[in-house]
């Protein structure tokens, strides 16, 4: 694993969520190209559209298999919006910004 990719996985913004904030969990497979794209795309979307009103946890299923199993993961990368309810799931590299925003319950 390259240093930059390790840093992306570790610097996920794991601070405690503020009340009313979006709580997001992104499940990835190590540093695969799709995983890195999903991480970068999601970070850009969050910074542009959620502006510090979110917490993001990036979970590598190779390192945290039990967490992935408890969430019943069937495809990766997978983004789960835990808050606000209802929970929503988005699969893929999150490159289609409009679809991601719609999936998160946001509009342009």
**Does residue 106 have a pLDDT over 60?**
yes
Domain coordinates in residue numbering, the chain:
3-14+21-98
Q: Which CATH superfamily is domain 3-14+21-98 in?
A: Glutaredoxin (3.40.30.10)
Query: Which residues, other chains included, contact 12 with Cβ-Cβ below 8 Å and sequence gap of 6+?
Result: 26, 56, 57, 58
Query: Which residues, other chains included, contact 49 with Cβ-Cβ below 8 Å and sequence gap of 6+?
Result: 101, 104, 106
- Span 40-99, pLDDT tens digits: 999 999 999 999 899 999 999 999 999 988 998 989 999 999 999 999 999 999 999 999
Half-sphere exposure of 44 (CA within 13 A, CB side): 13
DSSP-derived secondary structure letter, 37: H
């Amino acid at each position: 694993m390259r240093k930059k990719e390790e840093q992306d996985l570790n610097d996920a913004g794991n601070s405690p969520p503020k009340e009313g904030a979006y709580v997001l969990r992104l499940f990835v497979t190590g540093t695969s190209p799709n995983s890195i794209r999903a991480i970068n795309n999601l970070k850009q979307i969050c910074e542009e559209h959620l502006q510090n009103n979110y917490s993001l946890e990036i979970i590598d299923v190779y390192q945290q298999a039990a967490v992935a199993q408890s969430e019943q993961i069937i495809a990766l990368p997978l983004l789960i919006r835990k808050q606000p309810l209802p929970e929503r799931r988005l699969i893929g590299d999150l490159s289609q910004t409009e679809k991601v925003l719609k999936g998160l319950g946001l509009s342009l």
